[in-house]
Amino acid sequence: MIPRRTFTLSLLAASLAGACSATPMNAASSAARTPASPPPPFDPERGYQRREVRAGDRTVVVRAWEGLAYVSRPVEPQWQVMNLYIPEAYFQGERIGRHDARTAPIFLPNSIGGYMPARPGTPEGRFGPPPAPGQTPPPSAIAVALTRGLVVASPGARGRTLQAADGTWTGKAPAAIVDLKAAVRFLRHHDAAMPGDSARIISNGTSAGGAMSALLGASGNSADHEDELRALGAAPARDDIFAVSAYCPITDLEHADAAYEWQFGHAHDYRRIEMSMLDYRVQRREVAGTLTAEQIALAQALRASFPAYLNTLGLRDAAGRPLQLDASGRGSFLDQVRALVMASAQQALDAGADLSSRGWLRIAAGRVIDMDFDAYVLAATRMKLPPAFDGVALDTGENQLFGSRTVDKRHFTAFSAQHSRMAGASRADERTVRMMNPMHYIGQSAATVAPHWRIRHGTMDRDTSLAVPVMLGTLLAQNGIDVDLALPWDRPHSGDYDLDELFAWIDRVTASAR
């Protein structure tokens, strides 16, 4: 049996805290129209299977609850479930390393990619490119977490392509973030009944999943999502988390087109990935080309609009100096991005990498002393056509993300709505767009921001601009948040590639909180 500690009192306190949290009157009255219902139950002695999980030379036996509902009124029951894995040792009063049933952090990885529907993750699952021929596949982040003594809760989430039998769309924004918040509330509500410390939840995700991990960490307890959560029958508990791990987060979507052209706007040649289905399998094909005159004009207009947005953020570096851009896109913010790329190059150089072929780098006496940013971008090559995210032909995943219950695809920026090629195209409402952007919540008293963040975005990532993670990390840091931001050398768009470093970081931030 699990040591019961103060389970009953803790559960009552958590329920009261969630029910009595401050909520603006309009949100509270709107939510009140939906009758409350009990959240799904959790019994630590029933409904699980014992499984053995291995990662490297470590093995752990866990209790596995797979397909566990985290809301009582799901819209998509097969997607709104989580897989929960708890080391068996915690039910026997034992420890794994420095963790026990009371102190073990909860690792919350999502499998969201491209804002598509996501199944809950498993110890066998992986995110990223397959291993090279002849190489042993690396362990999953879930397997590593479990063997290191963390509890793992991996929620599924609705996505942009889901459609009900009556033809209505069920996974448009903000469905995914609402689902992740509901999963957190489930864990907090049942904290007294299960091992693991729900006050130390660490989210993890890559790409769109990285954006959702960031949004989850930035918008804790915001009233913006309360109506949707209540409609689903989410548990009456808090949804703030302790820490965020975000790999290449595709976020700040209202300004991502301008940010992309700030970086790639002078690169007219592209290498893009086209995807198609063949025998129910996704086929990826790289297509090379050159922007048309119309596309170049769009790129130039978007590039010119970025400095004004960047300057409204009031960003400052660690020394308090303003990070800004002039009308041409040059300035101290660009210098900050360059410094991060150069730091990554220096780390690679120190590790023995041969960087002599990188003509855009200037190296002297074993030190990276300068770089030509424009030449670096040309060497990387643009991947997306302008606008990169809010397509003027409504042809991106993000256009589909911002659809509605009755409309599959919509614009979500004024620029693309103005330049739309689709007759009768509509635009997503401002509230929905805002709810999907963590930048709107950081520094605002109405949300509880996670105190610890780890952001990774590779120097060869062409899916979104380097400006996006740098803006996110800088805004967090100047609001007193602990941020570990780096641009790993030569890393393309990918995640979970440095699990030893990730879990060493988790160990550090959770140890400091004890």
- pLDDT value of position 125: 80
State the Cα–Cα distance between residues 452 and 354, nearest whole angstrom: 34
CA distances from 476 to 305, 447, 472, 508 (A): 23, 13, 6, 19
CATH number at residue 231: 3.40.50.1820
- pLDDT value of position 326: 98
- pLDDT band, residue 373 (cuts 50/70/90): very high
Strands (E), 217-280: 243-247, 269-278
Most confident of 34-48, 262-276, 355-369: 355-369
**Mean pLDDT of all residues in 298-316:** 98
Query: Number of folded domains in the chain?
Result: 2
Q: Which residues contact 28 (CB under 8 A, 6 or more apart)?
A: 223, 226
Q: Is residue 249 over pLDDT 50?
A: yes
Within this chain, do residues 431 and 443 fall inside the same structural domain, yes or no?
no
Contact predicate 321/314, CB 8 Å: no
Domain extent for 413: 254-435
Q: Is residue 139 over pLDDT 80?
A: yes
Model pLDDT for residues 8-52, shown as the tens digit of each residue: 323 333 333 333 333 333 333 344 455 567 888 999 999 999 999
State the Cα–Cα distance between residues 261 and 256, nearest whole angstrom: 9
Within this chain, do residues 507 and 386 fall inside the same structural domain, yes or no?
no
Q: Is residue 164 over pLDDT 90?
A: yes
Within this chain, do residues 183 and 292 fall inside the same structural domain, yes or no?
no
Token pair listed for 5:
């500690």
Within this chain, do residues 156 and 111 fall inside the same structural domain, yes or no?
yes
**Mean pLDDT of all residues in 233-259:** 98
Give the type of residue at 147: T
27 located within any domain: no
End of a domain among 417, 435, 453? Answer: 435
Q: Is 197 helix (H, G, I), strand (E, B) or coil?
A: coil
**Mean pLDDT of all residues in 293-301:** 98
- pLDDT band, residue 138 (cuts 50/70/90): confident
For 450-496, the DSSP string reads: -SEEEEE--TT--SS-THHHHHHHHHHHTTT-EEEEE--TT--S--S
Contact predicate 394/425, CB 8 Å: yes
State the Cα–Cα distance between residues 242 and 483, nearest whole angstrom: 13
Angle value at C-alpha 433, between 430 and 439, nearest 5 degrees: 110
Enter the pTM of the model.
0.91
- pLDDT value of position 135: 72
State the Cα–Cα distance between residues 75 and 95, nearest whole angstrom: 39
Model pLDDT for residues 467-491, shown as the tens digit of each residue: 999 999 999 999 999 999 999 999 9
Within this chain, do residues 216 and 363 fall inside the same structural domain, yes or no?
no
- pLDDT value of position 199: 97
Within this chain, do residues 407 and 452 fall inside the same structural domain, yes or no?
no
- pLDDT value of position 33: 53
- pLDDT value of position 39: 82
Within this chain, do residues 358 and 289 fall inside the same structural domain, yes or no?
yes
Distance of CA 80 to the CA centre of its chain: 18
Within this chain, do residues 87 and 116 fall inside the same structural domain, yes or no?
yes
Contact predicate 427/411, CB 8 Å: yes
259 located within any domain: yes
- pLDDT value of position 387: 98
Contact predicate 150/107, CB 8 Å: yes
Within this chain, do residues 443 and 486 fall inside the same structural domain, yes or no?
yes
- pLDDT value of position 32: 44
Question: Comparing C-alpha atoms, which of 402, 443, 26 is closest to residue 219?
Answer: 443
State the Cα–Cα distance between residues 16 and 27, nearest whole angstrom: 18
**Mean pLDDT of all residues in 93-112:** 97
226 located within any domain: yes
- Least confident interval from 114-128, 150-164, 354-368: 114-128
133 located within any domain: no
**Mean pLDDT of all residues in 219-243:** 97
Contact predicate 436/174, CB 8 Å: yes
CA distances from 254 to 210, 290, 302, 434 (A): 17, 25, 12, 9
- pLDDT value of position 131: 61
For 11-27, the DSSP string reads: HHHHHHHHHTS---HHH
- pLDDT band, residue 276 (cuts 50/70/90): low
179 located within any domain: yes
Task: Indicate the helix (H) or strand (E) that contains 60.
Answer: strand 58-69
83 located within any domain: yes
Place of tokens 């960087």: 355
Average per-residue pLDDT in the chain?
91
For 129-182, the DSSP string reads: PPPPTTPPPPPPHHHHHHHTT-EEEEE-B--TT-B-TTS-B-S-TTHHHHHHHH
Q: DSSP class of residue 427? A: B
What percentage of residues in the chain have a pLDDT greater than 70? 89
State the Cα–Cα distance between residues 507 and 317, nearest whole angstrom: 27
**Mean pLDDT of all residues in 237-250:** 98
End of a domain among 401, 435, 469? Answer: 435
Within this chain, do residues 235 and 290 fall inside the same structural domain, yes or no?
no
- pLDDT value of position 137: 79
42 located within any domain: no
CA end-to-end span of the chain, whole Å?
25
Token pair listed for 339:
């410094």
Model pLDDT for residues 169-216, shown as the tens digit of each residue: 999 999 999 999 999 999 999 999 999 999 999 999 999 999 999 999
State the Cα–Cα distance between residues 187 and 14, nearest whole angstrom: 10
Angle value at C-alpha 508, between 504 and 510, nearest 5 degrees: 115
State the Cα–Cα distance between residues 193 and 190, nearest whole angstrom: 5
State the Cα–Cα distance between residues 250 and 465, nearest whole angstrom: 9
3-state helix, strand, coil in the chain (%, to 5): 35, 20, 45
End of a domain among 435, 456, 472? Answer: 435
- pLDDT band, residue 275 (cuts 50/70/90): low
**Mean pLDDT of all residues in 414-435:** 97
- Respond yes or no on whether the N-terminal peptide bond of residue 387 is cis (omega within 30° of 0): yes
Within this chain, do residues 236 and 335 fall inside the same structural domain, yes or no?
no
39 located within any domain: no
- pLDDT value of position 13: 33
- pLDDT value of position 473: 98
Within this chain, do residues 104 and 215 fall inside the same structural domain, yes or no?
yes
CA-based Rg of the chain, rounded to a whole angstrom?
23
